[in-house]
Amino acid sequence: MRVDIISIFPEYFAPLDVSLMGKARERGILDIHLHQLRDWTHDVHKTVDDTPYGGGPGMVMKPEVWGEAVDAVIEDGRAASGGDALPRLIVPTPSGRPFTQEVALEYAEEPWLLFAPARYEGIDSRVVAEYGERLRTDEVSIGDYVLAGGEAAVLVMVEAVGRLLPGVLGNARSVADDSFAPGDMANLLEGPVYTKPPVWRGHEVPEVLLSGHHGRIARWRRDEALRRTLDRRPELVARLDRDGLDKHDRRVIEEFEERLEERRSAAASRPGFRAAPEDVAD
Protein backbone atom coordinates (compact mmCIF):
# COMPACT_ATOMS: atom_id res chain seq x y z
CA MET A 1 0.00 0.00 0.00
CA ARG A 2 1.22 3.50 -0.85
CA VAL A 3 0.51 6.19 1.76
CA ASP A 4 1.15 9.90 1.13
CA ILE A 5 0.95 12.40 3.98
CA ILE A 6 1.04 16.16 3.36
CA SER A 7 1.64 18.20 6.52
CA ILE A 8 3.40 21.29 7.83
CA PHE A 9 4.98 18.90 10.39
CA PRO A 10 6.30 15.89 8.42
CA GLU A 11 8.70 15.22 11.35
CA TYR A 12 5.59 14.39 13.42
CA PHE A 13 5.51 11.00 11.67
CA ALA A 14 8.86 9.71 12.97
CA PRO A 15 7.01 7.03 15.03
CA LEU A 16 6.12 5.30 11.77
CA ASP A 17 9.77 4.12 11.66
CA VAL A 18 9.26 2.19 14.90
CA SER A 19 8.00 -1.31 15.74
CA LEU A 20 5.35 -2.96 13.57
CA MET A 21 4.94 -0.01 11.16
CA GLY A 22 8.73 0.32 10.82
CA LYS A 23 8.99 -3.37 9.91
CA ALA A 24 6.09 -3.11 7.46
CA ARG A 25 7.94 -0.25 5.74
CA GLU A 26 11.24 -2.16 5.68
CA ARG A 27 9.48 -5.10 4.08
CA GLY A 28 7.88 -2.83 1.48
CA ILE A 29 4.33 -3.62 2.61
CA LEU A 30 3.80 0.01 3.61
CA ASP A 31 5.29 2.61 1.24
CA ILE A 32 4.98 5.91 3.15
CA HIS A 33 5.80 9.24 1.49
CA LEU A 34 5.95 12.38 3.67
CA HIS A 35 5.58 15.84 2.14
CA GLN A 36 6.12 19.32 3.56
CA LEU A 37 3.05 21.40 2.64
CA ARG A 38 5.14 24.61 2.72
CA ASP A 39 7.09 23.34 -0.32
CA TRP A 40 4.07 24.42 -2.39
CA THR A 41 3.94 28.03 -1.13
CA HIS A 42 5.33 30.88 -3.24
CA ASP A 43 5.96 33.67 -0.71
CA VAL A 44 9.12 34.20 1.37
CA HIS A 45 7.23 33.47 4.61
CA LYS A 46 5.87 30.18 3.21
CA THR A 47 2.38 31.16 4.36
CA VAL A 48 -0.18 28.36 4.60
CA ASP A 49 -2.99 30.12 6.52
CA ASP A 50 -5.10 33.27 6.51
CA THR A 51 -7.93 34.87 8.52
CA PRO A 52 -11.40 33.31 8.21
CA TYR A 53 -14.09 34.96 6.09
CA GLY A 54 -16.95 36.05 8.31
CA GLY A 55 -14.58 36.71 11.18
CA GLY A 56 -13.98 34.66 14.29
CA PRO A 57 -10.96 33.26 16.06
CA GLY A 58 -8.09 31.29 14.56
CA MET A 59 -6.79 30.87 11.04
CA VAL A 60 -7.89 28.78 8.05
CA MET A 61 -5.51 26.94 5.71
CA LYS A 62 -5.34 28.46 2.23
CA PRO A 63 -6.88 26.46 -0.63
CA GLU A 64 -4.23 27.31 -3.29
CA VAL A 65 -1.37 25.71 -1.34
CA TRP A 66 -3.32 22.52 -0.64
CA GLY A 67 -4.50 22.35 -4.26
CA GLU A 68 -0.97 22.52 -5.64
CA ALA A 69 0.31 20.04 -3.07
CA VAL A 70 -2.41 17.44 -3.65
CA ASP A 71 -2.12 17.77 -7.46
CA ALA A 72 1.68 17.32 -7.32
CA VAL A 73 1.51 14.32 -4.98
CA ILE A 74 -1.08 12.63 -7.20
CA GLU A 75 1.11 13.25 -10.27
CA ASP A 76 4.14 11.85 -8.44
CA GLY A 77 2.24 8.73 -7.35
CA ARG A 78 0.87 8.12 -10.84
CA ALA A 79 4.34 8.47 -12.38
CA ALA A 80 5.72 5.99 -9.81
CA SER A 81 2.99 3.42 -10.48
CA GLY A 82 3.03 4.05 -14.22
CA GLY A 83 -0.75 3.88 -14.26
CA ASP A 84 -3.81 6.06 -13.96
CA ALA A 85 -4.54 5.17 -10.34
CA LEU A 86 -6.04 7.75 -7.99
CA PRO A 87 -5.63 7.77 -4.20
CA ARG A 88 -8.42 7.81 -1.68
CA LEU A 89 -8.18 11.24 0.00
CA ILE A 90 -8.59 11.30 3.79
CA VAL A 91 -9.00 14.62 5.56
CA PRO A 92 -8.91 14.27 9.37
CA THR A 93 -11.28 16.63 11.17
CA PRO A 94 -13.26 16.43 14.42
CA SER A 95 -16.37 17.17 12.31
CA GLY A 96 -15.79 14.08 10.12
CA ARG A 97 -17.46 10.67 10.07
CA PRO A 98 -16.25 8.34 12.83
CA PHE A 99 -13.16 6.24 12.11
CA THR A 100 -14.01 2.68 13.20
CA GLN A 101 -12.52 -0.80 12.77
CA GLU A 102 -14.89 -1.22 9.82
CA VAL A 103 -13.42 1.87 8.13
CA ALA A 104 -9.89 0.62 8.91
CA LEU A 105 -10.69 -2.69 7.16
CA GLU A 106 -12.09 -0.78 4.18
CA TYR A 107 -8.95 1.39 3.91
CA ALA A 108 -6.74 -1.71 4.20
CA GLU A 109 -8.18 -2.83 0.83
CA GLU A 110 -7.02 0.36 -0.91
CA PRO A 111 -3.76 0.44 -2.88
CA TRP A 112 -3.19 4.15 -2.23
CA LEU A 113 -4.20 6.54 0.57
CA LEU A 114 -3.49 10.28 0.70
CA PHE A 115 -3.82 11.98 4.09
CA ALA A 116 -4.26 15.76 4.39
CA PRO A 117 -4.00 16.69 8.10
CA ALA A 118 -4.72 20.34 8.91
CA ARG A 119 -3.56 22.67 11.68
CA TYR A 120 -5.40 25.80 12.87
CA GLU A 121 -9.19 25.85 12.32
CA GLY A 122 -8.96 23.52 9.32
CA ILE A 123 -8.63 23.76 5.52
CA ASP A 124 -10.73 26.09 3.34
CA SER A 125 -13.82 23.95 2.61
CA ARG A 126 -13.46 24.38 -1.14
CA VAL A 127 -10.52 21.95 -1.11
CA VAL A 128 -12.76 19.05 -0.06
CA ALA A 129 -15.46 20.32 -2.48
CA GLU A 130 -12.91 20.28 -5.34
CA TYR A 131 -11.32 16.90 -4.66
CA GLY A 132 -14.66 15.37 -3.69
CA GLU A 133 -15.52 15.66 -7.40
CA ARG A 134 -12.28 13.99 -8.53
CA LEU A 135 -11.35 11.48 -5.84
CA ARG A 136 -13.08 9.35 -3.26
CA THR A 137 -12.76 11.84 -0.39
CA ASP A 138 -13.53 11.22 3.30
CA GLU A 139 -13.57 13.68 6.18
CA VAL A 140 -12.88 11.47 9.19
CA SER A 141 -12.79 11.94 12.98
CA ILE A 142 -11.02 9.61 15.41
CA GLY A 143 -13.24 10.48 18.38
CA ASP A 144 -15.30 13.06 20.18
CA TYR A 145 -12.52 15.35 21.38
CA VAL A 146 -10.47 18.03 19.66
CA LEU A 147 -6.77 17.65 18.81
CA ALA A 148 -4.41 20.53 18.03
CA GLY A 149 -4.10 19.20 14.48
CA GLY A 150 -4.85 16.21 12.29
CA GLU A 151 -1.33 14.69 12.49
CA ALA A 152 -1.96 12.53 15.56
CA ALA A 153 -5.18 11.30 13.94
CA VAL A 154 -3.19 10.26 10.85
CA LEU A 155 -0.75 8.29 13.03
CA VAL A 156 -3.71 6.52 14.62
CA MET A 157 -5.29 5.68 11.28
CA VAL A 158 -2.07 4.54 9.57
CA GLU A 159 -1.34 2.18 12.47
CA ALA A 160 -4.90 0.80 12.58
CA VAL A 161 -4.84 0.20 8.81
CA GLY A 162 -1.19 -0.87 8.57
CA ARG A 163 -1.52 -3.74 11.05
CA LEU A 164 -4.34 -5.17 8.90
CA LEU A 165 -2.18 -5.45 5.76
CA PRO A 166 -1.24 -9.02 4.82
CA GLY A 167 2.16 -9.99 6.26
CA VAL A 168 2.30 -7.27 8.95
CA LEU A 169 1.04 -9.23 11.95
CA GLY A 170 2.84 -12.49 12.72
CA ASN A 171 -0.32 -14.32 13.66
CA ALA A 172 -3.01 -13.40 11.11
CA ARG A 173 -5.67 -15.07 13.24
CA SER A 174 -5.33 -12.43 15.96
CA VAL A 175 -7.04 -9.85 13.72
CA ALA A 176 -10.31 -11.82 13.85
CA ASP A 177 -10.18 -11.91 17.68
CA ASP A 178 -9.67 -8.13 18.02
CA SER A 179 -12.25 -6.04 19.77
CA PHE A 180 -14.77 -4.80 17.14
CA ALA A 181 -13.54 -7.26 14.49
CA PRO A 182 -16.43 -8.18 12.16
CA GLY A 183 -17.73 -11.68 12.83
CA ASP A 184 -17.87 -13.10 16.35
CA MET A 185 -16.30 -9.97 17.88
CA ALA A 186 -18.54 -7.41 16.11
CA ASN A 187 -19.59 -4.84 18.74
CA LEU A 188 -17.72 -6.71 21.49
CA LEU A 189 -14.72 -5.71 23.60
CA GLU A 190 -12.01 -8.32 24.13
CA GLY A 191 -11.93 -9.78 27.65
CA PRO A 192 -8.96 -10.06 30.04
CA VAL A 193 -5.72 -11.86 29.10
CA TYR A 194 -3.07 -13.60 31.25
CA THR A 195 0.39 -15.13 31.04
CA LYS A 196 2.71 -16.90 33.49
CA PRO A 197 3.05 -17.15 36.48
CA PRO A 198 -0.28 -18.81 37.44
CA VAL A 199 -0.33 -16.83 40.72
CA TRP A 200 1.07 -13.30 40.98
CA ARG A 201 0.87 -11.36 44.28
CA GLY A 202 -2.03 -13.60 45.28
CA HIS A 203 -3.99 -12.98 42.05
CA GLU A 204 -4.81 -16.24 40.30
CA VAL A 205 -5.22 -16.88 36.60
CA PRO A 206 -8.80 -18.14 35.96
CA GLU A 207 -8.66 -21.93 36.27
CA VAL A 208 -10.41 -22.58 32.95
CA LEU A 209 -7.44 -21.07 31.05
CA LEU A 210 -5.14 -23.70 32.59
CA SER A 211 -7.53 -26.55 31.75
CA GLY A 212 -6.38 -27.09 28.16
CA HIS A 213 -10.07 -27.53 27.25
CA HIS A 214 -10.35 -25.46 24.06
CA GLY A 215 -14.16 -25.49 23.92
CA ARG A 216 -14.55 -24.28 27.51
CA ILE A 217 -11.83 -21.66 27.01
CA ALA A 218 -13.52 -20.24 23.88
CA ARG A 219 -16.85 -20.12 25.74
CA TRP A 220 -15.26 -18.40 28.76
CA ARG A 221 -13.59 -15.81 26.52
CA ARG A 222 -16.88 -15.00 24.87
CA ASP A 223 -18.65 -14.71 28.26
CA GLU A 224 -15.95 -12.31 29.48
CA ALA A 225 -16.19 -10.26 26.27
CA LEU A 226 -19.97 -9.98 26.75
CA ARG A 227 -19.67 -9.04 30.45
CA ARG A 228 -16.97 -6.45 29.80
CA THR A 229 -18.97 -4.90 26.97
CA LEU A 230 -22.15 -4.82 29.10
CA ASP A 231 -20.18 -3.07 31.85
CA ARG A 232 -18.15 -0.58 29.82
CA ARG A 233 -20.04 -0.06 26.55
CA PRO A 234 -23.72 -1.02 27.07
CA GLU A 235 -24.66 0.92 23.93
CA LEU A 236 -22.64 -1.64 21.91
CA VAL A 237 -24.65 -4.54 23.35
CA ALA A 238 -27.83 -2.88 22.09
CA ARG A 239 -26.26 -3.09 18.59
CA LEU A 240 -25.40 -6.82 18.85
CA ASP A 241 -27.04 -8.91 16.18
CA ARG A 242 -29.69 -10.77 18.22
CA ASP A 243 -29.70 -13.68 15.76
CA GLY A 244 -25.94 -14.02 16.25
CA LEU A 245 -26.47 -14.69 19.97
CA ASP A 246 -26.84 -18.24 21.26
CA LYS A 247 -28.74 -19.38 24.36
CA HIS A 248 -25.63 -19.11 26.53
CA ASP A 249 -24.96 -15.52 25.33
CA ARG A 250 -28.52 -14.55 26.25
CA ARG A 251 -28.15 -16.08 29.70
CA VAL A 252 -24.90 -14.14 30.33
CA ILE A 253 -26.67 -10.91 29.32
CA GLU A 254 -29.72 -11.65 31.50
CA GLU A 255 -27.57 -12.49 34.53
CA PHE A 256 -25.57 -9.28 34.11
CA GLU A 257 -28.75 -7.21 33.88
CA GLU A 258 -30.26 -8.94 36.93
CA ARG A 259 -27.15 -8.16 38.98
CA LEU A 260 -27.23 -4.55 37.76
CA GLU A 261 -30.89 -4.27 38.81
CA GLU A 262 -30.10 -5.74 42.25
CA ARG A 263 -27.34 -3.16 42.73
CA ARG A 264 -29.65 -0.36 41.58
CA SER A 265 -32.41 -1.27 44.03
CA ALA A 266 -29.87 -1.75 46.85
CA ALA A 267 -28.54 1.76 46.13
CA ALA A 268 -32.08 3.13 45.94
CA SER A 269 -32.93 1.83 49.43
CA ARG A 270 -29.86 3.45 51.01
CA PRO A 271 -30.40 6.78 52.81
CA GLY A 272 -29.53 9.87 50.79
CA PHE A 273 -30.44 8.22 47.49
CA ARG A 274 -31.78 10.45 44.74
CA ALA A 275 -32.95 9.00 41.44
CA ALA A 276 -30.97 10.01 38.34
CA PRO A 277 -32.93 12.52 36.24
CA GLU A 278 -33.57 9.95 33.50
CA ASP A 279 -35.24 7.63 36.07
CA VAL A 280 -37.76 10.26 37.13
CA ALA A 281 -41.10 10.19 35.30
CA ASP A 282 -42.11 13.46 33.62
d(CA 123, CA 137): 14
Rounded to the nearest whole angstrom, what is the least distance from the CB of residue 212 to ligand 6GU in the complex? 44
Sign of CA dihedral 213, 214, 219, 225: positive
Residues 198, 209: Cα–Cα separation, whole Å: 10
User: Is 109 a catalytic site residue?
Assistant: no
**147 annotated ligand binder:** yes
119 vs 222, beta carbon nearer ligand 6GU = 119
- In angstroms, give the least distance from the CB of 97 to ligand 6GU: 10
Please tell me the distance from the alpha carbon of residue 166 to that of residue 184, in angstroms, as a whole number.
Answer: 21
Does residue 86 have a known ligand-binding role? no
Closer CB to ligand 6GU, 92 or 162, in the complex: 92
Write down the catalytic residue from 88, 94, 190, 219.
Answer: 94
CB of 150 to ligand 6GU, least distance (A): 4
Which 8-state DSSP code applies to residue 219?
Answer: H
CB of 202 to ligand 6GU, least distance (A): 41
Residue nearest to ligand 6GU (CB): 92
Contact 90, 127 (CB under 8 A): no
Provide the pairing of β-strand 137-141 with 112-115: unpaired
Catalytic residue among 26, 76, 121, 231: 121
Nearer to ligand 6GU by Cβ, of 98 and 198: the residue is: 98
Q: Which of 163, 227, 228, 233 is catalytic?
A: 163
Give helix 151-162 / helix 101-108 axis angle, nearest 10°. Answer: 70
Q: Which residue number, 56 or 202, has a Cβ lying nearer to ligand 6GU?
A: 56
Query: Which amino acid, one-letter code, is at 161?
Result: V
Which residues of the shown chain bind ligand 6GU in the complex (CB under 6 A)? Answer: 92-94, 141-143, 145-147, 149-150, 153
- Which H or E element spans position 93? strand 88-98
Least Å distance, CB 151 to ligand 6GU, is 8
- Nearest by Cα to 241 from 182, 174, 179, 178: 182
Please spell the DSSP secondary structure of 145-192, one letter per residue. S--SSSHHHHHHHHHHHHTTSTTTSS-TTHHHHSTT-SSTTTT-----
Q: Is 146 marked within a binding site?
A: yes
* 74 in a known ligand binding site: no
Residue 94 catalytic?
A: yes
144 annotated as ligand-binding = yes
231 labeled part of a ligand binding site: no
Cα–Cα distance, 72 to 178 (Å, whole number): 38
**Between 121 and 258, CB nearer to ligand 6GU:** 121
Please state the residue numbers annotated as binding site: 142-147
Please state the residue numbers annotated as binding site for S-adenosyl-L-methionine: 142-147
Q: Which residues are catalytic?
A: 94, 121, 163, 178
